[in-house]
């Protein structure tokens, strides 16, 4: 997955929402959740991003490499943690079960 595939809020959204990037086969590669912020010029703040594929990330607070899938949230010490099962989309779980 290239870095060129950046998630952005839906500029036409009227409220909190989630956007995602899929591959050619419909597998979700990453998704992000945004909340309304009228003080932000783009109207939204990213509050959570889940990377389902890609490189591990280093948590500066715990000193650990966090494998993928992982979650980025500003309120997490070190801002990255492993993804919980409920944060992995069902369409991705079905593919993983067939491997």
Q: What average pLDDT score do residues 67-92 get?
A: 95
In a domain, 8, yes or no: no
Residue 33: pLDDT above 80?
yes
In a domain, 7, yes or no: no
In a domain, 4, yes or no: no
In a domain, 80, yes or no: yes
In a domain, 12, yes or no: no
Which domain covers residue 69, as residue numbers?
17-97
> 35-44 contacts: CB < 8 A, separation 24 or more?
42/8, 42/9, 42/11, 43/9, 43/11, 44/9, 44/13, 44/17
Residue 1: pLDDT above 50?
no
In a domain, 6, yes or no: no
Q: What average pLDDT score do residues 8-37 get?
A: 94
Q: Bigger pLDDT: 19 or 11?
A: 19
Q: How many domains does the chain have?
A: 1
């Amino acid at each position: 997955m290239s870095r060129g595939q950046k998630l952005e809020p839906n500029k036409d959204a009227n409220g909190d929402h989630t956007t995602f990037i899929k591959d050619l086969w419909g597998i979700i590669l990453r998704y992000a959740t945004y909340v309304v912020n009228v003080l932000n010029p783009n109207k939204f703040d990213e509050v959570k991003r889940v990377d389902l594929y890609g490189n591990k990330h280093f948590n500066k607070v715990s000193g650990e490499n966090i494998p993928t899938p992982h979650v980025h949230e500003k309120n997490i010490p070190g801002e990255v943690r492993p993804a919980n099962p409920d944060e992995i989309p069902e369409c991705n779980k079905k593919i993983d079960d067939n491997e």
